[in-house]
Amino acid sequence: MIFAVLGTLAVVTSLQEIYEKVFDQSHRGLRDIHRIVIWVLAMCAVAGLVGEIGGPVRGPGGLVLAELITFAILTPFVWWT
């Protein structure tokens, strides 16, 4: 669990640094910790939603529907990111 949390924080921090460089923003360090926490919470909510909604339709013949549901949920999250 510790590795999962630390790995997630490392990925989020890396994404933030990339966006700062791409959009020519100054690095704010710990002043942006609230953004990291919000993103991690949103990611957990999206993962839970995909599991709850997509899980019941998985099975014979439901794979395509499950993938469409996953795509429909993940796309807004990725755009928001």
Q: What is the pLDDT of residue 24?
A: 92
Q: What is the pLDDT of residue 50?
A: 87
List alpha helices for the chain, DSSP H. Answer: 2-22, 33-57, 63-80
How far is Cα 26 from Cα 24, in angstroms, rounded to an integer?
A: 7
Q: What is the pLDDT of residue 71?
A: 92
Position with higher pLDDT, 55 vs 68: 68
Q: What is the pLDDT of residue 8?
A: 85
**Spatial contact of 56 and 32, defined as CB atoms under 8 Å apart:** no
Contacts of 19 (CB under 8 A, 6+ apart): 25
Q: How confident is the model at residue 46 (pLDDT cuts 50, 70, 90)?
A: very high
Q: Is 73 exposed, middle or buried (0-12, 13-18, 19+ CB in 10 A)?
A: middle
Domain range annotation of the chain: 2-80
Q: What is the pLDDT of residue 19?
A: 87
What is the mean predicted confidence (pLDDT) over 40-47?
Answer: 91
